[in-house]
Amino acid sequence: MTSRHLLTGHVLQYAGNPLAQPWADAVHIAENSAILIENGQIAAIGEDARVSGPDVVHHDHTGRLICPGFVDAHVHYPQTAIIASWGKRLIDWLNTYTFPEEMRFGDPAYAAEIAARYLDLALDHGTTSVASFCTIHPASVDALFEASAARNMAVVAGKTCMDRNAPEGLRDTAQSAYDDSKALLEHWDRKGRARYAITPRFSPTSTPDQLAALGALWAEHPGVLMQTHLSEQVDEIDWVQGLYPEARDYLDTYEAYGLLGARGVYGHAIHLEPREIDRLRDVGAGLAHCPTSNAFIGSGLCDVMGLSRAGQAVGLATDTGGGSSFSMLRTMAAAYEIAQLRGEAIHASQLLWAATAGSAAVLHRSDEIGTLAPGMMADICVLDLASTPAIAQRAREAGAIWDAVFPTIMMGDDRAVAQTWVAGRCLRQS
């Protein structure tokens, strides 16, 4: 007999986008509610979910928050082992730490080891879906998709393409980038829960010929995603201007070669020009806000609230390992802190939405992940709102449910994750 699972506790639900409308109209916590899981999906929520029987396994999470599994919209799983490396600006950081580590992924066994390690760390922190850059090695893509399939996780990934301004062992060509990406795309995209993303690292490490080749591939396969980096640091932007003197701005180096579109996901996007903001919004592209990385590498303070009010789709991301944590809770806290430095206070509901439904929308996967509703996949994170003495004493003073949730966002880590569910299976339990 196949078991059904009943989870009871406080249930986080969305009726809209709290970054685009009043949060109280868009997000609600149903206190002392219930979720029923059947066949890997959410079958019912609320009173309709409170069923009993010999095949129903009850998971009592009284006082805890049941929310969608976190969706990390921009990571580099090959940087797992070098996370929190000391004190470099972006370009120095790439040359000193990232590129030497990525060279190791020519070894398929090492790629498989790190892929498994990374996904297990993500699950420990309540993250059930990620969008990852791999390395130039096709085996690095295979490793991540194989590891995610073993866990039945909804993962987006792609071979990172670079044909200049990188070590010899990490450069491909315009033709091999096209050929490898096409073969990987045709093998992996929509195989189970896998989704492929065409992945130029960023304009400085791709020649115009390579960007054109990848733009042509995207035109041939418009249903897949494309992910890259955009306007992360001011010295990077100066570099791009020197490499592409004919471009109107950084975004134009992608737009000119067919790499701007609704299914594009652009990481960081801190120092945008007005034209870039308008174009990204008008085409419906998504941005991945990476606040821990932006602070750790000294990139800048992204105006995520202003962009959201202007109609821009924004998701939240750790940017492992430029980001200094695997935790989406820590990432939400950093997003709050950066917004404070810009003079705005993001509500807990807005932070949770960005880390779940917002990222799912940016990755065009809102049909299966990011929200709790009947018919959605049962990718779930259960948060203990009193996971440490410091958080517990603060939560006890809470006058309302949101006051109890906010301390966990600001001070929580993997200890706050009571359970992580993927497609109806509990893969982590504290």
The pLDDT of residue 113: 98
> At which residue do the structure tokens 């096209």 appear?
178
Mean pLDDT of the chain: 96
The pLDDT of residue 152: 98
Instruction: Say yes or no: 200 and 109 in one domain.
Output: yes
293 in Cβ contact with 75 (< 8 Å): no
Parent domain of 52: 4-68+371-429
Last residue of a domain, one of 333, 362, 391: 362
- Record the tokens describing residue 14, joined without a space: 């969305």
Instruction: Say yes or no: 192 and 339 in one domain.
Output: yes
> At which residue do the structure tokens 């409170």 appear?
50
The pLDDT of residue 94: 83
Question: Which residues lie below 8 Å from residue 31, measured CB to CB, with a gap of 6+?
Answer: 10, 401
The pLDDT of residue 297: 86
The pLDDT of residue 252: 98
As a whole number of angstroms, the distance between CA 381 and CA 225 comes to 25
As a whole number of angstroms, the distance between CA 226 and CA 400 comes to 41
User: Number of structural domains, the chain?
Assistant: 2
Tens digit of each residue's pLDDT (9 = 90 or more) over 107-136? 999 999 999 999 999 999 999 999 999 999
CATH assignment at residue 240? 3.20.20.140
Q: How many CB atoms lie within 10 A of CB 24?
A: 11
pLDDT < 70 regions, the chain: 1
Last residue of a domain, one of 320, 340, 362: 362
The pLDDT of residue 337: 97
Question: Which residues lie below 8 Å from residue 245, measured CB to CB, with a gap of 6+?
Answer: none
The pLDDT of residue 227: 98
Instruction: Say yes or no: 133 and 199 in one domain.
Output: yes
As a whole number of angstroms, the distance between CA 315 and CA 324 comes to 18
CATH assignment at residue 41? 2.30.40.10
As a whole number of angstroms, the distance between CA 167 and CA 397 comes to 55
Last residue of a domain, one of 316, 331, 362: 362
The pLDDT of residue 424: 97
As a whole number of angstroms, the distance between CA 153 and CA 421 comes to 10
Instruction: Say yes or no: 54 and 74 in one domain.
Output: no
Q: Is 99 exposed, middle or buried (0-12, 13-18, 19+ CB in 10 A)?
A: middle
